[in-house]
A = this chain, B = another copy of it.
Amino acid sequence: MVRPALIGFAWSCIIIRMTVKAAVAGATGYAGGELLRLLLAHPDVEIGALTAASSAGTSLGQHQPHLGPLADRLVQETTPETLAGHDVVFLALPHGHSADIAAQLGSDTLVIDLGADHRLVNAADWERWYGGEHAGTWPYGLPELPGGREALRGTKRVAVPGCFPTGGSLALAPAFAAGLVRPEATIVSVTGTSGAGKSLKPHLLGSEVMGSASAYGVGGAHRHTPEFAQNLSAVAGRPVTVSFTPVLAPMPRGILTTATAPLAGDATPHAVRSVYEKAYGDEPFVSVLPEGTWPTTAATVGSNMVLLQVAVDADAGRLVVVAAIDNLTKGTAGAAVQSMNIALDLPETTGLPMTGVAP
């Protein structure tokens, strides 16, 4: 939306303005659509090739009616050729496809994988949860984790976190880092439907979803479970077990995560709070809300924000942290753009909404 305003000053600004040419593979899906919405508003990005699989040859407008400015753009096939010649290539593809494509794009191209291929460090975990051979591990696109930002500076490869581990890991990381809790996390995340993508499955029909809540991947079956454990164990410096349950709720976007762990000692609410405020005080996209205010996913819709609130349950001896994000923005496409900004040494917040669209 910004361009019109800038045009008027182009002659004075253009000389100091670098422009990054970006391609999006998987442009017709929800993650790809959100990515394009953000890139259209990014002052330093020029949108290049838009590619997909079965929809190649159609116009983007047929798939992303909300992206008017790109309605007439042709969707090309996802190949090394169509993706060549870009500074940045975003891969919003089913897992298993990224490694080959990345290999052919060359090491000077910034490749940002929104899929799962390069998130896990442990090959055995990969094979157990996803099957097939592990494609290797790339720098992890969650700069708010300890050391996360540094790992992304100047990198040419980024693995964007899963939508669930984003909120859940940030919800508990400070507590584990400070040794406030025992290494047994119990996490329940209520999610909107867009996380499941556009796949035509009966349980994703509007008639089935509206007015209904349902759990899935229960008992540790969800593929994000090892990613949670990897993140929290790294922060804790020892193995952390994670019981994770996702719950599908009748909303298109948003994840509300309730993350709890047993208190290691008798930390006061005040002490816990100061740990979190210290951990995130300088983070532009993480907000520890004022006491008494609880996060809502609505407040994060379309924004790159993580809204957090903490509580100490003295009776149950547990820390309870609630985190709200937009699964498509901070949970996917926003994290990708944020990682791109860091990798390219652009101001980290460039082109990323800090305000939600509510109500």
Q: Which B residues are CB-close (under 8 A) to A262?
A: 184
The residue on B at minimum CB distance from A70 is B355
Whether A200 and B202, one on each chain, are in contact in the complex, defined by CB atoms closer than 8 angstroms, is: yes
A37 close to B357 (CB less than 8 A): yes
Nearest B residue to A9 via CB reads B13
Instruction: Decide: B206 and A193 in contact? CB cutoff 8 A.
Output: yes
Enumerate chain B residues within 8 angstroms of A293, measured Cβ to Cβ: 61-62, 65
Taking a contact as CB atoms closer than 8 A, the residue among B13, B42, B186, B307 that contacts A12 in the complex is B13
Contact A253 B359 (CB under 8 A): yes
Q: Is A88 an interface residue (CB 8 A)?
A: no
Asked if A266 CB lies within 8 Å of chain B CBs, one says no
Query: Using Cβ atoms and an 8 Å threshold, which residues of chain B touch A302?
Result: 302, 357
Once the chains bind, are A66 and B316 in contact (CB under 8 Å)? Answer: no
A44 contacts B5, C-beta separation under 8 Å: yes
Q: Considering residues A61, A200, A214, A324, which has the most beta carbons from chain B within 10 angstroms of its beta carbon? A: A214
Q: Does A17 contact B (CB under 8 A)?
A: yes
The segment from A133-141, A152-160, A218-226 that touches chain B is A218-226
Interface segment out of the listed A74-82, A142-150, A346-354: A346-354
Whether the pair A190, B249 counts as a contact (CB closer than 8 A) is: yes
CB distance from A341 to the nearest CB of B (A): 10
A245 close to B (CB within 8 Å): yes
Interchain nearest-CB distance for A356 vs B (Å)? 3
Given known A30-B207, A211-B211, contact A356–B193 (CB-CB < 8 A): no
| A315 lies within 8 A of B220 (CB) | yes
Known pairs A13-B12, A218-B294, A297-B214; A258 contacts B4 (CB<8 A):
no
- Nearest to A1 among chain B residues (CB) is B353
CA distance A334 to B61 in the complex (A): 23
Given A198-B205, A309-B218, A317-B241: A212 in contact with B254 (beta carbons within 8 A) = yes
Q: Does A110 contact B (CB under 8 A)?
A: no
Query: Is A313's CB within 8 Å of the partner chain B?
Result: yes
A19 to chain B, nearest CB (A): 12
Knowing A251-B213, A252-B207 touch, does A241 contact B299 (C-beta < 8 A)?
Answer: no
Q: Give the distance in Å from the alpha carbon of A296 to the alpha carbon of B66 in the complex.
A: 9
- Interface residues in chain A, defined as those with a beta carbon under 8 Å from any beta carbon in chain B: 1-2, 4-9, 12-13, 16-17, 30, 33, 37, 40-44, 61-62, 64-69, 71, 184, 186, 188, 190, 192-194, 196, 198, 200-202, 204-216, 218-221, 225, 241-243, 245, 247, 249-254, 256, 258, 260, 262, 287, 290, 293-303, 305, 307, 309, 311-318, 320, 322, 324, 346-347, 349-359
- 12 A-B interface contacts by CB (under 8 A): A30-B207, A65-B293, A66-B357, A67-B355, A69-B355, A194-B207, A209-B210, A211-B211, A220-B314, A249-B251, A302-B302, A357-B357
Known: A62-B293, A214-B324, A241-B317. 8 other contacts (CB 8 A): A1-B353, A64-B358, A65-B358, A190-B213, A194-B207, A220-B311, A242-B315, A243-B318
